[in-house]
Amino acid sequence: MADQRYTIQQLAQEFGVTARALRFYEDKGLIAPARRGQTRVYSDRDRTRVRLVLRGQRLGFSLEECREIIDMYDPRQAGSARQLLRLCDKIREHRADLLQKLRDIEATLVTMGEVEAKCFAELLKSDVNVRKAG
Amino acid sequence: MADQRYTIQQLAQEFGVTARALRFYEDKGLIAPARRGQTRVYSDRDRTRVRLVLRGQRLGFSLEECREIIDMYDPRQAGSARQLLRLCDKIREHRADLLQKLRDIEATLVTMGEVEAKCFAELLKSDVNVRKAG
DNA sequence: CCTATAGTTGACGTATACGTCAACTATATC
DNA sequence: GATATAGTTGACGTATACGTCAACTATAGG
């Protein structure tokens, strides 16, 4: 199960992106697949990071922000207490950012519901009119 | 209270964007402030739309998508039943999109909590070590 | 009338996130 | 060995979302 390997096309198809995108993410330091010769060989860790990149992108983070966040999460050496405190600060920042997005989404969903309700009401009215006309 | 007017700078400062950005949004059809001579005069409606634009941007929508969504919400003539049905479809689309973002945010928050916990644990350990060393 | 301040319209520049194409390489198949 | 199939590295092109700057206008104050 573990230690699965993937070609660039396999990952690209799985995530619905192009090979070009994956190479671009590598250029930007988001992933670092192994090489067999000059050919890229992607591991499960790379796959996970790609998944996180796309998740970050859906949330409107730039690739640079994605890299920061993903590196944050990546199980690495703990670092000094100073580094750990900085990490906590960054988490707080990103959490605040996410909570803002949550509020934005909730507000938008509420408005959507209202518009939808008005829409249904209008449809009912026109339906009634159609019946009257019919 | 109602019928408030704003200069471009007032709106820009209120929302923390530049006048250039507001003119750009106008170029793209997101807002359409009135003119006094050649000078833009922003209404409360324009202000609301700007707010929605920024909200959309925070959620990772392009300006084009923002325009679509905002126009959707704008109280306008109801349109034909066919248009109303299309509106409902669009709402469903955008809702699905938002719900995906919600899942993304929740997943990210969970991971953040875990990383934070590990971080605290590490900090405690080093704190203990400091005490031992001290 | 002169100046300061705020606003306007181009026009070009820039960062991000890739798309696209050319040219080369490596491997497998006939 | 020729060809087909994946993969690779530049290099340039493109859409989005503005930043920046130049040149002009309009209006209020001294």
Burial (0-12, 13-18, 19+ Cβ within 10 Å), A69: buried
Percent of chain B with pLDDT over 70: 91
In terms of C-beta distances under 8 Å and separation of at least 24 residues, what long-range contacts does A16-25 make, across chains too? A17/A54, A22/A50, A25/A50, A25/A53, A25/A63
Task: Collapse the DSSP code of B44 into the 3-class scheme (helix H, G, I; strand E, B; otherwise coil) and give the result.
Answer: helix
Q: pLDDT category, A128, cuts 50, 70, 90?
A: confident
Residue-wise pLDDT for B47-66, tens only, equals 999 999 999 999 999 999 99
Residues 34-53 of B with CB under 7 A from strand C: 38-40
Which nucleotides of chain D are near protein (any atom < 7 Å from a CB)? 6-9, 16-21, 25-27
pLDDT score for B2:
66
Residue-wise pLDDT for A100-115, tens only, equals 999 999 999 999 999 9
Neighbours of A66 (CB within 10 A): 21
Distance CA A127, CA A69 (A): 51
pLDDT score for B38:
93
Question: Cα B74 from chain centroid?
Answer: 16
Of A78, A107, A115, the CB nearest to B72: A115
Distance CA A58, CA A36 (A): 32
Chain A residues within 8 A of B73 when measuring between CB atoms: 111-112, 115
DSSP 8-class letter at B78: -
The model's pTM: 0.89
Q: pLDDT category, B83, cuts 50, 70, 90?
A: confident
Average pLDDT over residues A10-24: 97
In this structure, of A33-37, A101-105, A126-130, B26-30, the range with the lowest mean pLDDT score is A126-130
Chain B residues within 8 A of A61 when measuring between CB atoms: 60
Average pLDDT over residues B102-120: 94
Helix segments in A16-80, DSSP class H: 19-27, 44-58, 63-73
Nucleotide nearest to B53 (CA to C1'): D17
> Residue A98 in contact with residue B108, Cβ under 8 Å?
yes
Both tokens assigned to A81: 């207490």
| In chain A, beta strands by DSSP E | 34-36, 39-41
Strand pairing report for A39-41 and B34-36:
unpaired
Q: pLDDT category, B79, cuts 50, 70, 90?
A: confident
pLDDT score for A99:
97
pLDDT score for A132:
66
> Residue B27 in contact with residue B36, Cβ under 8 Å?
no
pLDDT at B39 over 60: yes
Higher per-residue pLDDT: A20 or A124: A20
Distance CA A47, CA A31 (A): 9
Percent of chain B with pLDDT over 90: 71
Higher per-residue pLDDT: B129 or A123: A123
